[in-house]
Structure 1
């Protein structure tokens, strides 16, 4: 095979040979960050034009090889494939004998712990789950954003310092998440980030429908203030609640439901979030039981 050496013959002492299987936005950036920390990225896998271009841009000089060759060349493997592909890819590599005893294998899925690796790749590897709590563009801009980013780490007993050290080398802050808590951790991130985008998108569409040309100018001050306040007051954030629910304005809520009657997706989301807001306001003492009951009756079935 022509191309860069992937044997590690010339690597520096104390550094790991790293391969990235699945050079998507996350894998390429994390591999580049570890390379900056002095480790040797010796191989990467990429099939699509986008993946190949990303490897060439983020990991210049790194050999592009099939997954089994990449794994066999490395001491640490970044298995940065989609969540549902982790187990099948790991199992496939085990079937062809690619894994080696004691090899470090890192996946970056938020919802999975280490069981997904040990069940698929076998118990001879050292599985590490390291999830960066940030979005990725797959460009060099992400390298700076890794600094002080929080990474959720899960590892076998005795191996946690390795996972934490890798995060620190990338500039991040490791936070330990137990195996059984990974789904809740990931659900929290999705609910607090992705669902906010959904809510803002729906709200923007409502404003656009009534002729507001730039909904972001209307929503931006409110949205930024609300999110900043909620983060400041977390986890309770009751003090940050505003709007008709915490005021007990059931009539206003009823008018909203009527106005959204021809927008079923937005209506469903509004009703569900208003109920959740009412629950939060009741628990936090912002409204009493009578007002809560009135609001819930107004909201009706979700």
Structure 2
């Protein structure tokens, strides 16, 4: 059986992880490993165990093209590859962005190439760890049937658990992943800062909070979010909620606003008989006034 050649554009953590997994199983032959930094391209080739680092110049022919760059660069790269007529009829181009659909690769379809996006729901903070723990990773797939059919065996062979997501819902899908992963990290930072504000050092704070976090995730896994909800919103402790919004706002207005907004989300899970309303949560003086003041003072187009 002919082993396809894979060109990797973007020598980052995700791209080098997937290329290494496929290389180790003999599923692909690595062609170009392209990027803007020669050192990173060479490092990626060493990690993968194959490939030719390329910073400038045309890329060699390949049956598979993985564009593993930051999201903002994908469209430009697709346009450039199309202008260079780099892809041939029947070639497969795909990216692994969670937020973007395969339509961002549309310029490549003019040459007869097929496009898709496959997003692994996994943190690739360490490629060394990712290559040993990828098995069982859920991967969201969308795109042209011809591309997905060709890519499916590659992902199945490294233990992916594929599922479909509609292209028009990629942003909602990715927002879910961001909330569950990236924003969980931010939430843990918020909790640690509140602990420090209470005079507990960070190491002790995390040692105390980590079992609570792990136990909560276990409860969600076993019983679902509604049954797992505990605390002042679940109990309807109106005054405690208001006081803690004020206390966290005194520490940092962003922490107070996070507490308030998450309490409103939690309200949707709370038993209605506890009598708590949105007004009870939004009515905290310091939290609402601080948020209103910062909203009025800020430029809505400035991030």
* TM-score normalised by structure 2 residue count: 0.86
- Of 42, 45, 60 in structure 1, the residue corresponding to residue 31 of structure 2 is 42
Alignment partner of 1:295 is 2:280 = yes
Matches within 5 A, 1:48-197: 48=37, 51-66=40-55, 69-70=58-59, 72-119=60-107, 122=110, 124-197=112-185
User: In 1, distance between residues paired with 2:92 and 2:126?
Assistant: 23
- Of 260, 269, 288 in structure 2, the residue corresponding to residue 280 of structure 1 is 269
Matches within 5 A, 1:218-229: 218-229=208-219
- Of 230, 254, 257 in structure 1, the residue corresponding to residue 220 of structure 2 is 230
**1:132: Cα distance to partner?**
0.7
Q: Which whole-Å deviations, capped at 9, do the CAs of 1:87-138 have from their partners, x for residues lacking one?
A: 0111012112212221111100001221111146636211021111101135
Q: Contact 1:45 / 1:66 at 8 angstroms: preserved in 2?
A: yes
**1:210: Cα distance to partner?**
2.4
Q: Contact 2:87 / 2:108 at 8 angstroms: preserved in 1?
A: no
What residue in structure 2 maps to residue 212 of structure 1?
200
User: In 1, distance between residues paired with 2:274 and 2:208?
Assistant: 33
Aligned residue for 2:150, secondary structure, equals: helix
**Closer/same/farther in 2, CA of residues 158 and 74 from structure 1, 3 Å limit:** closer
* TM-score normalised by structure 1 residue count: 0.86
**How many residues of Structure 1 are paired with residues of Structure 2 in the alignment?**
283
Per residue, is there more helix in 1 or in 2?
A: 2
User: In 2, distance between residues paired with 1:264 and 1:244?
Assistant: 20
Please give the root-mean-square deviation of Cα atoms over the aligned residues, in Å: 2.1
In structure 1, stretches of 5+ residues that fail to align are 1-12
Aligned residue for 2:268, secondary structure, equals: helix
